[in-house]
Amino acid sequence: MTQRLTPRKTIGLVAHDNKKADLTEWAKFNLRLLNLHDLVATGTTGSMLEEQLGVKVRRLKSGPLGGDQQLGSLIADGQIDFLVFFWDPLEPQPHDTDVKALLRLAVVWNIPVACNRASADFMVSSPLMLGDYQRTLPDYREYVERFSGQD
């Protein structure tokens, strides 16, 4: 089974505190391209991007207050096409389990993920970014059937 991604994609944006400046610089450099897509971000990151770039961003709660989980829910519901998550691997995060869960959901649902500027640059410069794409959806029916009723 596949999901058609149109040329206008929904991009999730997240950055840990020590990476917010990096994400802002990256977004400024790619502003023309980002304006062609719908942006969703966790609270503080979204506010910062709106202020610095003058773009409309759908803002969720701050990451530690549930924003990472909200973004994960949007991924699980097929509403996020691409995730840019500039995370800080050297700084402990009080909501580290939420961070890992968000990255896990992106992998589970076959969402492209960029975790640093280099990977984000490679991904947004791909011809797939501005074209149609048939994303393969994982088939979890067997998993659901095996574990249904075990709540």
Locate the domains of the chain by residue range.
2-147
Residue 16, number of CB atoms within 10 A of its CB? 20
Question: Given this model, what pLDDT does residue 99 score?
Answer: 83
pLDDT digits (tens, 9 = 90+) for 68-96: 999 999 999 999 999 999 988 887 776 67
**Active-site residue list:** 68
DSSP 8-state secondary structure symbol assigned to residue 9: -
- 88-130 confidence digits (pLDDT tens): 888 777 667 888 899 999 999 999 999 999 999 999 999 999 9
Q: What is the pTM of this model?
A: 0.92
pLDDT at 11 exceeding the cut of 70: yes
- What share of the chain in percent tops pLDDT 90? 78
Superfamily assignment of 2-147 in CATH? Methylglyoxal synthase-like domain (3.40.50.1380)
